[in-house]
Amino acid sequence: MKTVSVVIPCFNSIGTIDQALNSVYKQTYNLLEIICIDDCSIDNTYEHIKNNHPTVKLFKNKNNMGPAASRNIGASYCSGEFIAFLDADDTWFSDKTKLQMALIERYGLDFIGSSFVVAKSETETNTSTCRIITTRELAFKNYFPTPSVILRKDLVRFDESMGFAEDYDLWLRLSIANCVMGFIDQPLVALGKPSFGYSGLSSNLFRMQCGELKSLSNSLKKDLVYYFAIMWSILKFLRRLVIVSFRRILS
């Protein structure tokens, strides 16, 4: 059986980290280790994990470094052949790792992710199939929320200079490098907040958009599909602005 390490970056997560870790403890696949990287929290997240979760391997950054660096640091401490990422405000369905590792074995995948829900309740999932995502598909849609992803340890190299969309940047680079990437079109992870616009700050939406455009440029600028992907990305951005505006009005 292939070994899996879990990496969870934490920043001011005292209100959500217990739920995240409990979802890891409930996995039906035997996980090798759980590694938490505290990114200089000021709400006692580090102390809370240390005192209440003794089986977790806990590390603290010397300075606030952001999620990309924290994931890279966490990966450097991992002993598993594969790494599963989880954010401190998200949760996994109990069969997530078991289902994904079975598909990694069956299809010889380097990387696998799934769909998600924005909810706290778990729905029953029973899937034995996935489909391979091509670079051109990925250019038009990021299929893989980070908390849904399991990948080979040697593939983890987030660009720490990316303030936003560092995950999408890595996924594109891996796809360009011919990594076999599988997608399960059923939710296996529950996000604690919507994937965009949760803070209500338009500035964050603009930063996310800049990160997405940079990711596309880094990987696809020499490909004709790049120009179509850029146009599609801008259309998606305008749609997000409309959605966030309606959320503000309704709230």
The residues spanned by each domain of the chain are: 4-190, 202-250
Q: Regarding the domain with residue range 4-190, which homologous superfamily does it belong to in the CATH classification?
A: Spore Coat Polysaccharide Biosynthesis Protein SpsA; Chain A (3.90.550.10)
For β-strands 4-10 and 82-85, DSSP reports them as parallel
174's tokens: 């891996």
Integer Cα distance of 21 and 8 in angstroms: 9
In Å, the largest CA–CA distance within the chain is 54
Contact 31, 105 (CB under 8 A): no
Alpha-carbon gap, residue 32 to 38, rounded angstroms = 20
The residue type at 118: V
Give the residue from 165, 205, 49 showing the smallest Cα distance to 9.
Answer: 49
Residue stretches of the chain with pLDDT short of 70: 120-128, 194-203, 221-224, 247, 251
Q: Cβ(131)–Cβ(180) under 8 Å?
A: no
Tell me what percent of the chain is helix, strand and coil, each rounded to the nearest 5: 45, 20, 40
Amino acid at 174: L
Q: Please tell me the distance from the alpha carbon of residue 87 to that of residue 11, in angstroms, as a whole number.
A: 10
Closest CA to 165 of 223, 109, 225, 206: 206
Give the pLDDT confidence score for residue 120 in this predicted structure: 60
Closest CA to 147 of 104, 95, 101, 191: 191
Q: Quote the pLDDT of residue 88.
A: 95
Q: How many residues in the chain?
A: 251
Nearest to 158 by CA among 145, 149, 171: 171
Question: Residue type for 150, please?
Answer: I
